[in-house]
Structure formats: structure tokens, C-alpha cells
């Protein structure tokens, strides 16, 4: 049976390759939004999966999990101009 770490790693690699391929498709701003959204999902997998914050109810988990989506949003707003 595939273990949890391997599964998270596999999903992260798939998303990475997907983002890489997607970047070649178009330079439209919505492509950048999707790529940054995928980066946020990768961030969530690293934070909750590898860092083992899943199940922890404190401030640190919320702060960490908000990091990628909020930063990604600001970056997108700056990049799409």
C-alpha cells in the first residue's frame, strides 16, 4: 500500500509538471492565476502533509495555510497589470 508521504510527494510532482506544461500553453493572465493557484495547493500539501500541521488547531497552521493563497493573489494582481 502506498504510504501517505509517497502519495503527497506524487501529487506534488504531478502538480509541478502540470504547471510547467500549462505555462507553455498561453501567456494570458488567467493562466498565471491557475499556476499560482496550483502553487497554493502545493503549499497546502507541504504545510499540512510534510510539516504535519494537519490536525493542529493553533494560529500557526492558519497563518501558514493562508501564506500561499494570499501572497499568490497579491503577486497575481501585480503581474497581471
Q: What is the distance between the alpha carbons of residues 26 and 43, in angstroms, rounded to a whole number?
A: 24
Q: Which three cell numbers stand for residue 21?
A: 506544461
State yes or no: residue 66 binds other proteins (CB under 8 A).
no
CB-side exposure of 8: number of CA atoms within 13 Å? 16
Among 18, 30, 62, 79, binds other proteins (CB under 8 A): 79
State yes or no: residue 78 binds other proteins (CB under 8 A).
yes
Among 18, 54, 62, 73, binds other proteins (CB under 8 A): 54
Residue given cell 503577486 in the structure block: 75
CA angle 28, 40, 16 (to 5 degrees): 70
Binding site for other proteins (CB under 8 A): 3-9, 11-13, 16-17, 19-20, 23, 27, 32, 35-36, 39, 42-43, 45-58, 60, 63-64, 67-68, 71-72, 74-75, 78-79, 81
Amino acid at each position: 500500500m502506498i504510504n501517505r508521504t509517497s502519495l503527497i510527494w506524487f501529487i506534488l510532482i504531478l502538480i509541478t509538471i502540470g504547471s510547467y506544461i500549462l505555462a507553455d500553453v498561453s501567456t494570458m493572465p488567467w493562466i498565471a492565476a491557475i499556476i499560482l493557484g496550483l502553487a497554493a495547493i502545493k503549499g497546502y500539501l507541504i504545510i499540512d502533509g510534510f510539516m504535519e500541521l494537519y490536525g493542529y488547531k493553533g494560529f500557526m497552521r492558519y497563518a501558514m495555510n493562508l501564506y500561499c493563497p494570499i501572497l499568490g493573489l497579491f503577486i497575481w494582481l501585480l503581474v497581471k497589470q
